[in-house]
Amino acid sequence: MSELHDLTATDQLAALRAGEIGPVDLAKHYLDRIARLDGELGAFVEVTADAALARAASLGGREPEGALWGLPFADKDLVPRAGVPTRFGSRLHREHIPDATADQAAVLDEAGGVSLGKTNTPEFGLTGYTETQIGPPARDPWNTAHGAGGSSGGAATAVAAGLLPLAPASDGGGSIRIPAATVGVVGIKPSRGRVPFASGQDSPGGLSVAGPIARTVADAALLLDVQVSGRAHPYATAAPGAGPFLDAARPGAGTASARVGVTTVSPWDDADDIRLDPDAARAVEVAAALLTDAGTAVDAFDWRPHGYAELFMTLWRTSAARMALTDAELDLVEPITAWLVREGRRLTGVQVLDALAAAAVFERDTISAFAPFDAVLTPALALPPQPIGWFDASDAARNFSQQVRYAPYSSFVNVAGLPAIVVPVTVDAAGHPVSVQLIGRPGGEAAIIALAATLEERRGPLPHPPAWRA
């Protein structure tokens, strides 16, 4: 029997606008699922049921207004919302309740969305897995012994398990794409400069941007359109190209004329022991074949980047070093956080400037190398989902290496400022989805969304995790 969460977000929105369901009914449906199921999943760190129902009730009896009118979502626990605990995944902020709402949340409110609470994130969003000292980990709904990835692990878990129709997220080194690929949903990392309130322009190296996580390519495009259009751009320049990106999510929209390069090379290959799982390699082969069948020109791409690891590690440590943590507080945070901050504060100004210069060269070289293609197809992850506790909780250097080996195809996209989307295309022997990544040109979200929609259509329906029918 079909239930409300079986509908896509775009279908739920259409039903809301047609009066077939009401905002309160939809909010209650998801709140009930969260109450029943999230204890085993760890998607949420705060559920604001009363506020959500009041918000949904305030929308009832009015003409639908806004691109997300009545649609539930949840804020990532790095995004302040006035009056709601915002802990940043850290015990240092266990009691923190902000007075103001950040643009990332306000934009979705203004579009008519209904926030149900806060989704789980690692401490300060610094890691590609979501396991903290202050609460349960975010788990993969397909196998709850495994982690959901990070840093938007809670958001991805909630979407995959049918606890939310879609979710806002953020990505500084893969934090949208890693969890989305881990649990088998869609995640979009936009171009640098694309999303006004989280463009990357004001972070070291221009790394961190906001983007969507959803079950389908069209649903992700819907949320991306809201994130892009919700604020005036505060900078003199923005990413080129224009939406609405939902139009690009029609299967076949421009894919027959597209050219796609295929590589399984990562920029970490010369710095760490990167081993590609056979299921991940097979997903790339299947995706290439599906696109070829759709009329897309698909070619092997010989890409050999060098010297990436040092520049990224310097940028990541520099970002951590900027956090206002005292020496006493560094004794209370997680070992990986303390290590990144302390290592970052040991860097000299010359080392940071050299890394920024190297990143600019890497960006230019990567864009030039990718220029012949509308998109470059890579694995989304190198390894399958890993058990909770697999990432070393005490040896921070080993922990960082493990994150690299798990997801070596993510962070370089942030350094280059390019858009990317992950989409599941195959399943492994256990029935778990396996995803690929499509990386676009600067401002090329429409092209990769169209290609991902074609993959989605041609691969056919995928199974749902066990929690879906619970």
Task: Report CA Rg, the chain.
Answer: 20
- Which residues, other chains included, contact 113 with Cβ-Cβ below 8 Å and sequence gap of 6+? 66, 68, 69, 71, 72, 73, 226
Q: Three-state SS across 253-277?
A: CCHHHCEEEECCCCCCCCCCCCCCC
Torsion sign (Cα): 453, 454, 459, 460: positive
**Residues 76, 118, 189, 266: which is the catalytic one?**
76
| Number of neighbouring beta carbons within 10 Å of residue 108 | 27
Is 189 catalytic? The answer is: no
The CA distances from residue 179 to 248, 342, 410, in Å, are 24, 27, 11
| Number of neighbouring beta carbons within 10 Å of residue 93 | 17
Is 208 catalytic? The answer is: no
Tell me how far the alpha carbon of residue 402 is from its chain's centroid.
19
- Which residues, other chains included, contact 230 with Cβ-Cβ below 8 Å and sequence gap of 6+? 103, 107, 108, 110, 111, 196, 197
Is 175 catalytic? The answer is: yes
Residue 108 near residue 41, CB atoms below 8 Å: no
Question: How is residue 87 written in tokens?
Answer: 């802990």
Backbone angles phi, psi at 408, to 5 degrees: -85, 0
Phi-psi region of 462 (alpha: psi -120 to 50; beta: other; left: phi over 0): beta
**Residues 90, 115, 151, 411: which is the catalytic one?**
151
**Residues 115, 152, 170, 175: which is the catalytic one?**
175
* Residue bearing tokens 């990567």: 366
Residue 392 near residue 399, CB atoms below 8 Å: yes
Question: DSSP 3-state assignment of 436?
Answer: strand
Which positions are catalytic?
76, 151, 175
